[in-house]
Amino acid sequence: MALAVKNWTAVVVSVVAVIVADVYIFTSSLSFSTKAIIFRAHFIFGIQVVLFFLSRYVWRRLGGIFDSHSEQLEKVKDDATTTARGLSRSGPLGVRTPCTVVWRIILFVYLICCHVSYLTNLYFIGTEPAFISMVTYICLGSFVHLITGMLIMGILGCIGRLLQLKRYNANSRRRLRTLAAMMYALSISFYGLYTAHKLPTVKHVRVPVKDLPPSLEGFRIVQLSDIHLGPTVGRSKVKDVVEITNQLQPDIVVLTGDLVDGSVDRLHKAAEPLQQLQTTFGKFYVTGNHEYYTGDVDNWMRYVETLGFTALDNANAKISHQWAPAEQICIAGTNDIDAERIGYKNHRMNLDQALAMCNPKYPTILLAHQPKAAKLALSSKHRVDLVLSGHTHGGQMFPLIIGAYLINPFFAGLYKYGPSSHVYVSMGTVYWGIPMRVFTTREISEIILTRM
């Protein structure tokens, strides 16, 4: 009982510390470069707190799974004091064997890899992913699946107890559930790795647009989103994306945020292949929340322009054919909705500025990284016919899919809003951090505009 109280006290203190740090970061008058450092330290601390308690749980459940058990030791489980002491030392009561010692060393190294995964964002970012980054993030992904498997098996165990299924003794049932969770984690991790390293799927989406000029019927927009150049994504994946995109022969390419998870100095060579994207009318870019987390947003906006992109900093551009210059669509873009919350200089989502001078007689296509921003734009006074967003990754992998679905007004795919407006949310062209995708796919979206 005392141990449980201490654990919950530690959890509460850690959560309060994270909240206080969050408030301090976003309300202080510190320079943004300082805020960015504090924000990263705060984020790392939050992750480590969560991982600590989950790792402790895993260690207690898995540390003694290969112990040699006996009937005599099983009887000791009724002694609360002895049980607590046994669990605190080595998980389930049992006799340690050489196999157990080796297993605990492996488990310890595995848990350490999970803990250091995010630290590779600070020290191992370059043109291509470092080996240590890939290994630690794979461990972190499998850890998520392991916890999920243990939760599923725990639920099944509760159902079994309710149905009074007692084919095996309690320790045997516990061991079987733990082994089943480990098998689940291994199998789903391999599946996630395979899916994430496949080439992106091209999704062809036809969107009816009101007042679309005849000269722009069939206008093709290729949307790239959430590439996340960083510890596990590098230049080679960008080259694959560029090759597939060029085969589509797009009229324009739009990059809807979260291009990077690091500074221009470290990642400019990784992003360089984007210069080879070929379009008829141009390439357009808006920021995502992760660009702001790098603390290097302005440099990235300048750099993508050297790659041939137009950075839409709450701005817009008109597109029309030479033979029909009066018939146009307006391509607008906003800074990420989190820019103001983070406090990055004068950056914020400014719809009035982004849509200024867009002719309301003709369609407006808005680039806004987060679906929450899309909802704000569509419910505003401005004419917005189509919003292209990303951010959600479709949840990237189970069970994170559930959270992404619940907290975003638009989750993934095409949505109709009101009588004639639409939102398209990309699942992301690559992935963030963990190189796994489970029940989601990498995608390159080809948006084809048709007359309504």
Query: Residues 167-182: what's their mean pLDDT?
Result: 77
Higher pLDDT, 12 or 61: 61
R_g of the chain computed on alpha carbons: 26
Higher pLDDT, 28 or 423: 423
- ∠ at Cα 366 (373, 308), nearest 5°? 115
Query: Residues 254-268: what's their mean pLDDT?
Result: 95
- Whether 208 and 173 map to the same domain: the answer is no
pLDDT tens column, 2-32: 444 455 555 555 555 555 555 555 555 566 6
At a CB cut-off of 8 Å and minimum separation 6, what does 223 contact?
A: 253, 254, 256, 388, 390, 424, 426, 444, 445, 446, 447
pLDDT of residue 177: 86
pLDDT of residue 243: 97
pLDDT tens column, 376-408: 999 999 999 999 999 999 999 999 999 999 999
Higher pLDDT, 39 or 244: 244
Domains of the chain: total? 2
Distance CA 270, CA 286 (A): 18
pLDDT of residue 171: 67
At a CB cut-off of 8 Å and minimum separation 6, what does 147 contact?
A: 54, 58
The DSSP call for residue 367 is E
Q: What CATH number does residue 406 fall under?
A: 3.60.21.10
Domain final residue pick, 135, 164, 196: 196
- Whether 188 and 253 map to the same domain: the answer is no
- Whether 12 and 69 map to the same domain: the answer is yes
- Whether 71 and 206 map to the same domain: the answer is no
In percent, the amount of the chain with pLDDT more than 90 equals: 65
- Whether 229 and 131 map to the same domain: the answer is no
Query: What burial class does residue 244 get, using C-beta atoms within 10 Å of its C-beta: 0-12 exposed, 13-18 middle, 19+ buried?
Result: middle
Task: Decide the pairing of beta strands 443-451 and 220-224.
Answer: antiparallel
- Whether 182 and 233 map to the same domain: the answer is no
What are the beta bridge partners of residue 318?
A: 330
- Whether 271 and 350 map to the same domain: the answer is yes
- Whether 174 and 206 map to the same domain: the answer is no
pLDDT at residue 88 is higher than 80: no
Most confident of 28-37, 38-47, 53-62: 53-62
pLDDT of residue 71: 40
- Residue written as token pair 């959560």: 15
Higher pLDDT, 409 or 6: 409
The end-to-end CA distance of the chain, in Å, is: 66
Domain extent, residue 10, equals 2-196
pLDDT tens column, 290-337: 999 888 899 999 999 999 999 999 999 999 888 878 889 999 999 999
